[in-house]
Amino acid sequence: MIVGIVIVAVVVALSLLAPVLTNVNPVYTTGPPNAAPSSQHILGTDLYGRDMFSRILWGGRFLLVVGVLAVIICMAVGVPIGLAASYTGGIVGRVVTLIMDSIYAFPSLVFSLLIVLIFGSNVFNYALAIAVVYIPSYYRVVRSQTLAIKELPYVDAARSVGAGYFSVIRKYIWPNIIPSVIVVATINFADAILITAGLDFIGVGDLTKPDWGVDLYYGRTTILSGAWWTIGFSGLMILLTALGFSLISEGYSERTNPKLK
């Protein structure tokens, strides 16, 4: 888990400090196209002569912001619905689960693609597209945990000392499912990065912004002529970021599982 945190921290730091670390503009041509890494352009240039180093530093921002927004939307929607529907149980629970399962069954990339194509490619829409598709995952996790906890004596005990519906959810169920939600959120983040980069890679969205996925889009052609640096570094960054979050997720879930005596 620590490794994951370190990786993510580095990526976030790089993205935040981009303006400080480089004054080279990532969007304009600043050098010869497809130039190999050199002292002037440490990581080379892409087919439009844009500095790769600068693009690497600036390229994470969009992805990270989308990730953050997506996770926020998902949690804000998925978790309360999950808690309420699962705790209430009965017909309500079954119906909501049915709806969620249907959304879950939808191929996520296609769905996100549709939303971005139809509604536009700004940060918010990306986040929305990913969120809609991911909410069922939160719902499922919240539901399974809530159902388990609901049966535990301490929930019964809470009711017998007079705790009402909302108090039980707020104080007895929610605090005990936070770890699982964190696990899902971190995976969500990793997935968001991959989907966003993926969408850019297929050419959807605003191709003028500095973005690792966009780099891959442009780099498709140049790789054939041997200019590996155009997709190598960007691809690596995507991989690292997604990996970082996945490691956090796994590491955290291991830690919150019952420890050995």
Partner 1 sequence: MIQGETSETLLQVKNLSVEYVTTEGAAKAVNDVSLDLRKGETLGIVGESGSGKTTLGLALMGILPPNARRSGGTVTFGSSELTTLKEDKLRAVRGKRIAMIFQDPMTSLNPVKKIGDHFVEYFRAHEQETSREEALSKTTEVLRGLGISAERLNDYPHQFSGGMRQRVMIGLALALNPELIIADEPTTALDVIVEAQILELLKILKRKYSLSLILITHNMGIVAETADRVAVMYAGKIAEIGPALEVFGSPKHPYTQALLQSIPTVEGERRTLKVIPGFPPRLTEQPPGCSFHPRCPYAFDRCKVEDPVLIPTSAEGKAACHLLEKK
Partner 2 sequence: MAFLEAKDLTKYFQIQQSFVAQLVSRRREFVRAVDGITFSLEKGDIYGLVGESGSGKTTTGRMTAALERPTEGTVSLGGSPVNPRRRSDRKKFRRKVQYIFQDPLSSLNPRMTVGNAVAEPLRYLSAMRKRDYSSEVDEMLERVGLSPAVEFRDRYPHELSGGQRQRVVIARALVLTPEYVIADEPVAMVDVSVRAQIMELLIKMQEELGLTILLITHDLAVAKYMCNRISVMYLGKIVESGTNEQIFSNPMHPYTQALKAAVPIPDPRSKSDKKLPSGEIPSSLNPPPGCRFHTRCPYVFDKCKTDEPKLLPTDKGNLVACHLYFEGRLVTSGR
The rounded Cα 247 to chain-centroid distance in angstroms is: 13
Give one DSSP letter per residue of 92-155, joined into a string. HHHHHHHHHHHHHHS-HHHHHHHHHHHH--SHHHHHHHHHHHHHHHHHHHHHHHHHHHHTSHHH
The burial of 259, by beta-carbon neighbours within 10 Å (0-12 exposed, 13-18 middle, 19 or more buried), is given as exposed
User: Which residues have C-beta within 8 Å of that of residue 153, sequence separation ≥ 6?
Assistant: none
Residue 258 found at the interface with partner 1 (CB under 8 A): no
Residues 121-160 touching partner 2, rule: CB under 8 A, are 152-154, 156-158, 160
Site string for partner 1, 29-58 (x = CB under 8 A): ------------------------------
91 touches, from partner 1, partner 2, none (C-beta below 5 to 8 Å by class):
none
176 touches, from partner 1, partner 2, none (C-beta below 5 to 8 Å by class):
partner 2
Cβ distance to partner 2 smaller for residue 38 or 170: 170
238 phi, psi to nearest 5 deg: -60, -50
Smallest gap from residue 25 Cβ to partner 2 (A): 50
Residue 167 found at the interface with partner 2 (CB under 8 A): yes
The helix (H) or strand (E) run that includes residue 25 is none
Residue type at position 74: C
Cβ distance to partner 1 smaller for residue 98 or 260: 260
Residues 60-119 touching partner 1, rule: CB under 8 A, are none
Cβ distance to partner 1 smaller for residue 39 or 261: 261
Residue 257 found at the interface with partner 2 (CB under 8 A): no
Q: Which stretch binds partner 1 (CB under 8 A): 4-12, 120-128, 170-178, 253-261?
A: 253-261
Joined together, the tokens standing for residue 203 give 């050419």
Cβ distance to partner 2 smaller for residue 107 or 162: 162
160 touches, from partner 1, partner 2, none (C-beta below 5 to 8 Å by class):
partner 2
Q: How far, in Å, CA of 24 to CA of 29, rounded?
A: 10
Q: Of 164, 165, 170, 202, which one interacts with partner 2 (CB under 8 A)?
A: 164
Nearest to 8 by CA among 190, 180, 250: 190
260 touches, from partner 2, partner 1, none (C-beta below 5 to 8 Å by class):
partner 1
Q: How far, in Å, CA of 203 to CA of 219, rounded?
A: 12
Cβ distance to partner 1 smaller for residue 20 or 260: 260
Joined together, the tokens standing for residue 51 give 């500095």
Joined together, the tokens standing for residue 69 give 């927004």
Residue 239 found at the interface with partner 2 (CB under 8 A): no
Residue 261 found at the interface with partner 1 (CB under 8 A): yes
Cβ distance to partner 1 smaller for residue 80 or 179: 179
